[in-house]
Chains A and B, each alone.
Chain A
Amino acid sequence: MTTIRPFVCEDLFRFNNVNLDPLTETYGLPFYMQYLARWPEYFQTCESAGGRIMGYIMGKAEGGGEKWHGHVTALTVAPEFRRLGLAGTLMNNLEQISEQKKCFFVDLFVRVSNKVAVNMYRKLGYEVYRTVLEYYSGDVDEDAYDMRKALSRDKEKKSMIPLKRPVRPDELD
């Protein structure tokens, strides 16, 4: 009971019920507009029958060669609409778009402490590819998992073979 549609600028005026959640970051306008201008198809939102924003996903496609992949920049669902499988729907949509673009895999970063999210991504077929040390800055810096899911183009699922050692943020490509 959800309308999935492209995120539009106007939604920025009314996404507060989603963004007032402490784990959802509100960025400066350039950040959203950069994604809207460049990867509009990767920025989708869910709207309830009552017309409220339930959640949204932002992503992009990047990388060269076998590293050409879809990336989930942000995925969030408002508290009152959680546990309805919305995140899965939005992720699935992003994966399909990445398939269309002939990406090899989809990846995302998640706080190591965010167990609910890590488990959800596992259920959706994502594996921890590597740990990124102190990726999230804050009062205490926090590590991130770089989680990946291979797409059909990566038949042998090479992109998902976990790295043995953690990496530092400056080692990311």
Chain B
Amino acid sequence: MASGSHVDVNERRLRPIYDCLDNGNNKKAIQEAEKALKKHKDFQCAKVLKALALLRLGRHDESSVILDEIHSQHPTDEATLQAMAICYREVYKLEAIADLYENARKNCPDNEDILSALFMAYVRLGDYKKQQQTAMLLHRLQPNKNPCYFWAVMSIVMQSQSSEDEKLAKGMFLPLAERMVKKYVDEKKINAEEEVQLYLIILNLMGKWEEAYEVVTGELGEKLTSETFFKERKAAELFSKMQKWPEANAKFKFLLKENPDHWQYWKDYIYSCLKMVQSNWKPQEDSQDSEIDYTIDMACEFISQTITMCSKDRSLRGPYLAQLELIKVLRENGDLSVKNLGSPMELLQNYFKLFGDKNCCYEDMKLFTDLISKPQQLEMISSFMKTLELHNSDGDILFASDVKAMQRHLTILQMARYLGIQDTMIAEERLVLARECTQRYQHGLEFGKDLLITDIQYSDNFLLMAAHLLVEVWETTSNQQYLIEAIVQLQKGSKNCPANFQFKVMLIHLYSVLGAYGPCQQLYDSLEVKHIMNDTLGYVISNHMVRLGHFAAASANYGSMLKFFAVNHKETAEYLIAAYKYGSFNKIFEFVRFREKLQNSLQYACAKVESMLLDLMLETSNHQSVEQMVTHMEIDPSEEGAPAVEFGKLCDNRDLRIIESWDKETYDKRLASDFSFQEEKAWLRIRSLTLRILACAVSLGQQMSNSKTMNNGLGAEKKALHEILESLGKELSEHIREYEKKFNKVYDYSLRGPSPTRITKYLSDGHYQVVCSMIDTILHLFNLQPEDLEQSENEKQESPSQKVPEILASLLTKYRGTLLSETDGKKSINATVIENLSLLAETMSHSAILIGVCHRILKPLKTSWNKRCRKKKTETPPPLPPVFSNFTKLIASFDACAKDMHVATRDLDPVLLSIDLSSLSLADSDSKDSPDDAAIRKDVLKSIETSYQSTSREVCELIHNKLQYFNGLKL
């Protein structure tokens, strides 16, 4: 067995390399690989393992040389293939894996492992057709192995799902998949539950409910055992699909008897009942089937029976809510009335009586408050109020005697708020209620003395309610005092109960309203946002960081968000493979859709673009480093270029429902989040265009100064950079015109989020003019020929860029201001000044990059002009063409403008100007802080102050860098 011992020798030689790789000792792994290669210079696997080690050391170029070499040799040895697949996976070259195994298969067509790996390679790529072909090859190799066959079937199903052509999907793929399964059914070859599940998936997609029902109830259905009551549930669903309402009704009734609290069953049961009532269905006279409830009375009876039956143990909420649901459904369907149940008012009152002391009571009841009229709603709330003793005859607060009584009170307050009863309150009344809530919160802490630090305090919602009320008082009176009081209260709550995330998220919102990002970071960090939460919760901070001039924090946060997005697509591919392996076919659809949503996430696209813009703005104090950075970022400014954003496909994965504010019915959350999605997309469009414009201009400048001929040296196959720049400029202008109408004023989002972008300010203050004028200038200079210089002498060279320092200067005049403003003797924080100056500094830094490009274009012109002057040897040198002197003047005005900005920003530093924020706390004498509150207030103001200092420092530093930048642009 010579070949056997050969394998052993190879294995023995590879062992130390594997060990080093496993231990992360990549350098040693390279040495070991080289040792093995000395003995055997064509040892493929050793070479690949060396490539892997190089890769992990970040030496990508050396690694890919080796991989390319081996790849072209079409290896078939298993160890080599595996190692190469690992390399390709790490650099996410999924096509290369497929190609690798495709080559191997051609050499060893009967190798099951290779075919299997090839199938998986196509799964990673989502190439369903190739998946199908490979699975069929596997099946032919192993006709007795069912999984391969069903992989092929599933691959066909996936083709039907991804096919744009409905006819092809319904007419070809699905029938083919069905036939393939049927063949196995007929031959009695089905042996696993997963296979039956796949059959059901296919029949479901084809709408073949009857057939599906037969599968579920027939012999094959016996295999459906992993989920409890799966068969019954499926049968009930199928009856509904077939509109066999009596049968569906009986099934749902059966399921409800098993699980009387299952809400979906109740909804389906009621719906089936309604359908029978509408069609006047009656059982045949001789029928003994008493399990069908075909009248409303029968449904009422069943619900009541269930209530009686369940009353012994813990009261279940399901049947009680089912009563209300029944009324709701009947009303929605043509005013069918119910007798025997009691009025909705009575039912709601009863529900409160039974469940008012549960935290979720509010959530449940609000679904049904529409069933009673406005006056009835008021009456209901006041009747609830009467059940509690809240004040004594002198109007003093009486505190709840236990947690349950307290929770009842909270439920009432939440309902009252939801029903808009607080809307009619004037500011003073709201304030009184807020202060009462604060006291009740404080008192309620007594009940929670023994709770763990990880638990939520029973009375936390009082404090949240107080905070919402205080914010509203601030909104109506414009007295910032109340906003700060809300922050103080929430800080107190968060200190007492760090487990409550509601406090923290709301604090982030409120601090950012005050222009202070500083405290937000710590709060956000304490939420421990990680993994997928980067996508769903990143929005909590992402609109505030750059806006409020906290660039370092922005950089760090975008970094960690991008880290999540960068790995997830790579990592999750492996689980698609797992789903095939374990036959979890239902999950394959889910995984595919999930991966698409992550890949097309709005948050991802924003983080990508914003972090690049941030880098271009921050890390650069001269034009050379901008050029390096643009090269490094590999931005392709052309239409489809990176970082590409497919606006049509963007998904809004933000979880905007995390803050519970007992929102008024009148605030349409859906409308707000839809608008926010539109706004975010528009802003992203502007930002992404700005990024591409900057990158394109920088590349154009580089190209101009590198090519001696002054003509652009690009071939015809690619659009020339100046053309791209021109069209990007046009695109930006067009979108601006469109957005100016749509986003002309800031949408009134609720403070619970989402938060607005900077688009309105950007548009209304004309920031885009800066970039647009600069593009015109660059294109003008681009077209300038050396001969033009002399001719232009007499022309007044009025370049559009001369406007730019004027625009910036006038914006500065508009934005300049102090942090503390005083109106009617009341001091308040003027947070807009923070936002304004940060935005201005950013716009200025974009103009710096673009003026740097102008410099790049002019510099060679100047050099050649100088040369020509020297050649002419005239005694008096010819006058400097205006284009050069204008540029020098331009830089001088930029420089002056930046210096002014610097002063204005430095003036923001509250310490420098010795603004004492604590003087704010004295403005309102009626807020009697407890000593505790006073200490917290001091901390709050201190942290706001520190945040302003950071903003001032960071923006100053940025402007300082840009001053250096301008200094480097001498002709």
Residue numbers of A with Cβ under 8 A of B are 1-6, 8-10, 12-14, 16-17, 19-23, 26-30, 33-34, 36-38, 40-41, 47-50, 52, 79-85, 89, 93, 96-97, 100-101, 113-116
Q: What 1/0 mask marks residues of chain B from 504 to 537 whose CB sits below 8 Å from any chain A CB?
A: 0000000000000000000000011011110111
Q: How far is the CA of A38 from the CA of B581 in the complex (A)?
A: 9
Determine how close the nearest CB of chain B comes to the CB of A49; give it in whole angstroms: 5
Task: Report whether A48 and B226 are in contact in the complex, using a CB–CB cutoff of 8 Å.
Answer: no
Task: Report whether A29 and B568 are in contact in the complex, using a CB–CB cutoff of 8 Å.
Answer: yes
**B586 proximal to A (CB < 8 A):** yes
**B316 proximal to A (CB < 8 A):** yes
Chain B, residue nearest A42 (CB): B226
Task: Report whether B590 and A29 are in contact in the complex, using a CB–CB cutoff of 8 Å.
Answer: no
**B234 proximal to A (CB < 8 A):** no
**B587 proximal to A (CB < 8 A):** yes
Which 10 pairs, one residue from A and one from B, show the smallest C-beta to C-beta distance? A33-B575, A1-B317, A9-B594, A37-B578, A20-B501, A41-B226, A3-B264, A37-B579, A9-B590, A79-B456
Residue numbers of B with Cβ under 8 A of A are 225-228, 259, 261-264, 314, 316-318, 321, 358-360, 363-364, 366-367, 452, 454-456, 498-501, 527-528, 530-533, 535-537, 568, 571-572, 574-575, 578-579, 581-582, 584, 586-587, 590-591, 593-594, 597, 653, 655, 657-658, 660
Determine how close the nearest CB of chain B comes to the CB of A71; give it in whole angstroms: 15
Task: Report whether A23 and B360 are in contact in the complex, using a CB–CB cutoff of 8 Å.
Answer: no
- Please, which residues of chain B bring their CB within 8 A of the CB of A28? 531, 571
Q: How far is the CA of A80 from the CA of B227 in the complex (A)?
A: 28
Task: Report whether A36 and B584 are in contact in the complex, using a CB–CB cutoff of 8 Å.
Answer: yes
- Please, which residues of chain A bring their CB within 8 A of the CB of B571? 28-30
Task: Report whether B530 and A48 are in contact in the complex, using a CB–CB cutoff of 8 Å.
Answer: no
- Please, which residues of chain A bring their CB within 8 A of the CB of B535? 13
Q: A1-B364, A37-B584 known; A13 and B536 CB under 8 Å?
A: yes
- Please, which residues of chain B bring their CB within 8 A of the CB of A49? 263, 321, 363-364, 367
- Please, which residues of chain B bring their CB within 8 A of the CB of A38? 578, 582, 584
Determine how close the nearest CB of chain B comes to the CB of A76; give it in whole angstroms: 12
Give the residue of A3, A19, A30, A93 whose beta carbon is less than 8 angstroms from that of B263.
A3
Determine how close the nearest CB of chain B comes to the CB of A32; give it in whole angstroms: 9
Q: A30-B571, A84-B358 known; A2 and B657 CB under 8 Å?
A: no
Determine how close the nearest CB of chain A comes to the CB of B326; give it in whole angstroms: 14
Q: How far is the CA of A40 from the CA of B364 in the complex (A)?
A: 29
Q: How far is the CA of A116 from the CA of B532 in the complex (A)?
A: 29
Determine how close the nearest CB of chain A comes to the CB of B233; give it in whole angstroms: 10
Determine how close the nearest CB of chain A comes to the CB of B452; give it in whole angstroms: 8
Q: How far is the CA of A20 from the CA of B497 in the complex (A)?
A: 13
Q: How far is the CA of A25 from the CA of B955 in the complex (A)?
A: 37
Determine how close the nearest CB of chain A comes to the CB of B403; give it in whole angstroms: 10
Task: Report whether A30 and B574 are in contact in the complex, using a CB–CB cutoff of 8 Å.
Answer: yes
Task: Report whether A40 and B263 are in contact in the complex, using a CB–CB cutoff of 8 Å.
Answer: no
- Please, which residues of chain B bring their CB within 8 A of the CB of A84? 317, 358, 360
Extra pairs beyond A37-B584, A49-B321, A84-B360 (9, CB < 8 Å): A10-B594, A12-B594, A13-B532, A29-B531, A30-B575, A36-B587, A80-B363, A89-B261, A101-B226
Q: How far is the CA of A73 from the CA of B410 in the complex (A)?
A: 34
Task: Report whether B531 and A27 are in contact in the complex, using a CB–CB cutoff of 8 Å.
Answer: yes
Task: Report whether B532 and A1 are in contact in the complex, using a CB–CB cutoff of 8 Å.
Answer: no
Q: A9-B590, A49-B367 known; A26 and B261 CB under 8 Å?
A: no
Q: How far is the CA of A96 from the CA of B229 in the complex (A)?
A: 10
- Please, which residues of chain A bring their CB within 8 A of the CB of B454? 21-23
Task: Report whether B264 and A5 are in contact in the complex, using a CB–CB cutoff of 8 Å.
Answer: yes
Could you write out 24 A-B pairs with CB less than 8 Å apart? A9-B590, A13-B532, A13-B535, A13-B655, A16-B536, A22-B454, A28-B531, A29-B531, A29-B532, A29-B568, A29-B571, A33-B575, A34-B578, A49-B363, A50-B363, A79-B455, A80-B363, A83-B359, A84-B317, A97-B226, A97-B227, A97-B228, A100-B228, A113-B452
- Please, which residues of chain A bring their CB within 8 A of the CB of B572? 29-30, 33
Q: How far is the CA of A95 from the CA of B528 in the complex (A)?
A: 32
Task: Report whether A1 and B316 are in contact in the complex, using a CB–CB cutoff of 8 Å.
Answer: yes
Q: A21-B499, A41-B226 known; A33 and B532 CB under 8 Å?
A: no
Chain B, residue nearest A113 (CB): B452
Determine how close the nearest CB of chain B comes to the CB of A103; give it in whole angstroms: 12
Chain A, residue nearest B505 (CB): A20
Q: How far is the CA of A123 from the CA of B318 in the complex (A)?
A: 23
- Please, which residues of chain A bring their CB within 8 A of the CB of B455? 79, 116
Determine how close the nearest CB of chain B comes to the CB of A114; give it in whole angstroms: 8
- Please, which residues of chain A bring their CB within 8 A of the CB of B594? 9-10, 12
- Please, which residues of chain B bring their CB within 8 A of the CB of A17? 657-658
- Please, which residues of chain B bring their CB within 8 A of the CB of A9? 587, 590-591, 593-594
